[in-house]
């Protein structure tokens, strides 16, 4: 009986081993037959071409060691398959048949029999006929190249159903008709070349902000060009019909150009809606102004006849002209009661040596009074979700930056304690507050003005300077410095391990700050990463809007600190992709786009082309930094999200490896 059970167990184990041996899939015989027929049609019916290239249905194109019948045949052209470990392992991923002199026609139905196909390149042949509508059956297709052939007819509207398409190149053919409007709805499309054809009609309303390449020149197109053409030059639209219009490349379009009657009707209704909404808003504003005027009768409401109300955006200016703050209503009252927060300007004492702030700025802040801010010229730098920022030139010539925060949820006492703690925790990569002001409904925080701008402007081309685009070493340096600064502040603002972290960095932590509850940044983004005079990155506005979090005893994953880690991950994605996040968003859209590209196993498409075009750049280390970013944003199921200290350790390891590689090459 025992012998029988042993044999049965051995059989079961053998069966399990056999079942687990096959980790790769295989294309079905029907698929391989279809692909061979597809190539035969591309060759104009010449079966010899398929044989010459080694396309044989009896061989496995994804098995380089031999065919299904033991032959050593290998499919010619360029056929690539998903590697082991991928969900589609053993299935065809890429078919590249460019520059083979093929002169037949395209049968998309036969081609799309391959279920996992991602890339098709048929460029630089002599293919005839049209582009079949059946391409929509290749639902996973990301790249389609049919340029430099003799294809004709209209592009099928079904191309708009290829929702995963990133690249479409149909240039240098004889296509005619209109460019399918549905292509503008393919959200992942970032490269579209349709130049040197005979396309007619208008250009679909593509969102050119997300495109890397776009060319519709040398056609017969008319009507308005898409909006946001800033990154593309005239040659992307040149040599079309005389009716093409749209600034800045062409003359302004006539009113309603290129619109159908239904579109005009919808536009008119939309404008009427705007007018009605505007009338309601105006009426509401007039009502509020009248109510405010009645409430202020008999009160002294003006500090001086040359002041302006900074809460009224219609009176602020971004020009060089001088303006001044008005005294907030809360500051006009009598001094605060005993035990309540003071409404005067609080100048923070300068302590420690690891500070970004210059001596001149610290000296200017030392003697700063609230009245000085009221009388000094102010220039609006920008508005955000949590308030506005101004550049102020105070007496003595020093330039300061003032953050005006509207946050009624935080008490004055609480805000005071938070600013004092942040000011005591000094680090070379952190811009400390110099002074602050508390009132009932708004608060001001004063910093040294950084004339070299923000990471957002440097990455996305808004800085008007001779500064060269950021290369890989510079971006890795920024990531390292910001990670170190955030790790230090998280330790200081939570109190666990702060002193040990300080001893390993050029920083200082006040012991009292380390003993209180946790404070997160709360608004970490590329606009809050500024550059010093030496172009070193520094973190600005730490703790200005984030409410203090209760210390989590025995835990290092409080929600606010976790949100900072996620925001830092988005910051890394901006550095790696060169793409901006939405002005009022949290980076979720950028993270979703990166995730979708990675899932399609086209990780290289994520990186900024300015990085990949440079010599000596290690794509492997870029991928490692990308993995760190994705861990910060969305930890895998069952995986504990990393702390900022752990993130800083991972990035420093990548930086050290990069430095060693550079020194070895030198």
Q: Over 70: is that where the pLDDT of 403 sits?
A: yes
Mean per-residue pLDDT, 624-649:
86
Q: Over 80: is that where the pLDDT of 410 sits?
A: no
Which residue's structure tokens are 């330790």?
A: 491
Residue 309: CB atoms within 10 Å: 15
Of residues 503 and 589, more confidently modeled: 589
Which residue's structure tokens are 């190539």?
A: 39
Which of these, 91, 90, 136, lies nearest to 114 by C-alpha position?
91
**Distance from C-alpha of 625 to C-alpha of 469, rounded to nearest angstrom:** 19
Strands of the sheet containing 152-154, edge to edge, are 152-154, 174-178, 198-200
Tokens of 16: 């399990």
382 phi-psi bin (left φ>0, alpha ψ -120 to 50, beta other): left
**Distance from C-alpha of 536 to C-alpha of 449, rounded to nearest angstrom:** 14
Q: Is the dihedral of CA 609, 614, 619, 624 positive or negative?
A: negative
Summarised one tens digit per residue, pLDDT across range 356-378 is 556 666 666 677 777 777 788 88
Q: Output the pLDDT for position 494.
A: 74
pTM of the model: 0.55
Mean per-residue pLDDT, 92-112:
93
Which residue's structure tokens are 């009113």?
A: 255
**Distance from C-alpha of 519 to C-alpha of 526, rounded to nearest angstrom:** 20
Q: How many CA atoms lie within 13 A of 323 on its CB side?
A: 21
Q: Are strands 191-193 and 143-145 parallel, antiparallel or unpaired?
A: unpaired
Q: Output the pLDDT for position 513.
A: 40
**Distance from C-alpha of 356 to C-alpha of 564, rounded to nearest angstrom:** 21
Of residues 401 and 341, more confidently modeled: 401
Q: How confident is the model at residue 309 (pLDDT cuts 50, 70, 90)?
A: very low
Q: Among the listed ranges 114-123, 339-348, 563-572, 638-647, which one has the minimum average pLDDT value? A: 339-348
**Distance from C-alpha of 661 to C-alpha of 622, rounded to nearest angstrom:** 14
Q: Output the pLDDT for position 666.
A: 55
User: What separation in angstroms does the CA of 498 have from each of 483, 508, 513, 641?
Assistant: 15, 9, 10, 20
Q: Over 90: is that where the pLDDT of 612 sits?
A: no
Which residue's structure tokens are 């590249």?
A: 96
Q: Output the pLDDT for position 468.
A: 63
- What string of H, E and C letters represents the secondary structure of 209-271? HHCCEEECCCCCCCEECCCCCCCCCHHHCCCCCCCEECCCCCCCCCCCCCCCHHHHHHHHHHH
Please say whether the beta carbons of 167 and 143 come within 8 A: yes
Q: Output the pLDDT for position 327.
A: 34
Q: How confident is the model at residue 98 (pLDDT cuts 50, 70, 90)?
A: very high
Q: How confident is the model at residue 326 (pLDDT cuts 50, 70, 90)?
A: very low
**Distance from C-alpha of 89 to C-alpha of 110, rounded to nearest angstrom:** 21
Question: Any idea where the domains of the chain sit in the sequence?
Answer: 29-245, 360-495+518-549+557-663
Please say whether the beta carbons of 506 and 451 come within 8 A: no
Which of these, 538, 498, 539, lies nearest to 518 by C-alpha position?
498
Q: Specify the fold of 360-495+518-549+557-663.
A: Transferase(Phosphotransferase); domain 1 (1.10.510)
Domain spanning 29-245 has what CATH number?
3.80.10.10
Q: Over 50: is that where the pLDDT of 70 sits?
A: no
- Considering the chain, what percentage of its residues have pLDDT values greater than 70? 72
Summarised one tens digit per residue, pLDDT across range 239-259 is 888 888 888 788 888 765 444
- Please, what is the angle between helix 619-633 and helix 644-665, to 10°? 180
- Average pLDDT score, the chain: 77
């Amino acid at each position: 009986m025992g012998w029988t059970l042993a044999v049965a167990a051995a059989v079961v184990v053998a069966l399990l081993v056999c079942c687990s041996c096959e980790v790769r899939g295989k294309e079905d015989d029907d698929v391989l037959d279809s692909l061979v027929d597809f190539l035969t049609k591309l060759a104009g019916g010449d079966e010899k071409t398929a044989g010459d290239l080694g396309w044989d249905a009896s061989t496995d194109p994804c098995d380089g060691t031999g065919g299904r019948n033991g032959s050593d045949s290998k499919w010619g052209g360029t056929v690539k398959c998903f590697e082991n470990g991928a969900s589609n392992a053993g299935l065809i991923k890429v078919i590249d048949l460019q520059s083979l002199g093929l002169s037949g026609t395209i049968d998309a139905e036969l081609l799309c029999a391959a279920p996992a196909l991602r890339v098709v390149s048929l460029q630089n042949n002599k293919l005839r006929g049209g582009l079949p509508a059946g391409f929509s059956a290749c639902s996973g297709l990301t790249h389609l190249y049919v340029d430099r052939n003799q294809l004709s007819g209209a592009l099928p509207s079904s191309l708009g159903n290829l929702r995963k398409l990133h690249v479409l190149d149909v240039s240098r053919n004889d296509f005619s008709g209109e460019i399918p409007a549905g292509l503008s709805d393919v959200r992942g499309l970032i490269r579209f070349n349709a130049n040197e054809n005979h396309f007619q009609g208008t250009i679909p309303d593509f969102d050119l902000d997300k495109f890397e390449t776009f060319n519709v020149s040398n056609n017969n197109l008319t009507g308005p060009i898409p909006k946001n053409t800033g990154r593309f030059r005239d040659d992307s639209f040149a040599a079309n019909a005389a009716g093409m219009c749209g600034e800045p490349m062409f003359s302004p379009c006539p009113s309603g150009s290129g619109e159908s009657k239904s579109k005009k009707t919808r536009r008119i209704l939309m404008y009427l809606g705007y007018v009605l909404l505007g009338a309601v808003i105006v009426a509401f504003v007039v009502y509020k102004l009248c109510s405010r005027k009645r409430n202020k009768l008999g009160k002294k409401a003006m500090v001086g006849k040359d002041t302006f109300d900074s809460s009224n955006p219609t009176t602020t200016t971004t020009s060089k002209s001088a303006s001044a703050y008005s005294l907030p209503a809360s500051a006009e009252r009598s001094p605060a009661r005993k035990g309540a927060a003071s409404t005067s300007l609080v100048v923070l004492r300068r302590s420690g040596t690891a500070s970004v702030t210059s001596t001149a700025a610290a000296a200017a802040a030392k003697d700063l009074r609230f009245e000085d801010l009221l009388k000094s010229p102010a220039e609006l730098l920008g508005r955000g979700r949590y308030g506005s920022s101004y550049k102020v030139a105070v007496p003595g010539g020093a330039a300061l930056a003032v953050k005006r925060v509207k946050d009624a949820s935080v008490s004055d006492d609480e805000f005071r304690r938070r600013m004092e703690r942040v000011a005591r925790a000094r680090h070379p990569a952190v811009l400390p507050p110099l002074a602050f002001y508390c009132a009932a409904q708004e608060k001001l925080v004063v910093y040294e003005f950084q004339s070299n701008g923000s990471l957002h402007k440097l990455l996305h081309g808004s800085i008007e300077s001779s500064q060269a685009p950021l290369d890989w070493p510079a971006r890795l340096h920024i990531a390292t410095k910001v990670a170190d600064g955030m790790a230090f502040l998280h330790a200081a603002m939570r109190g666990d391990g702060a002193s040990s972290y300080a001893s390993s960095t050029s920083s200082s932590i006040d012991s009292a700050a380390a003993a209180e509850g946790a404070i997160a940044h709360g608004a970490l983004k590329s606009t809050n990463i500024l550059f010093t005079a030496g172009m070193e990155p520094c973190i600005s506005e730490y703790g200005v809007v984030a409410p203090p979090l209760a210390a989590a005893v025995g835990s290092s994953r409080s929600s606010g600190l976790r949100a900072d880690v996620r925001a830092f991950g988005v910051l890394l994605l901006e550095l790696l992709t060169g793409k901006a996040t939405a002005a009022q968003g949290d980076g979720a859209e950028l993270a979703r786009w990166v995730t979708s590209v990675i899932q399609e196993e086209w990780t290289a498409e994520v990186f900024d082309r300015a990085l990949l075009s440079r010599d000596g750049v290690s794509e492997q280390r870029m991928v490692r930094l990308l993995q760190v970013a994705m861990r910060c944003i969305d930890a895998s199921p069952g995986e504990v999200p990393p702390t900022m200290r752990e993130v800083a350790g991972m990035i420093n390891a990548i930086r050290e490896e990069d430095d060693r590689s550079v020194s070895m090459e030198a």
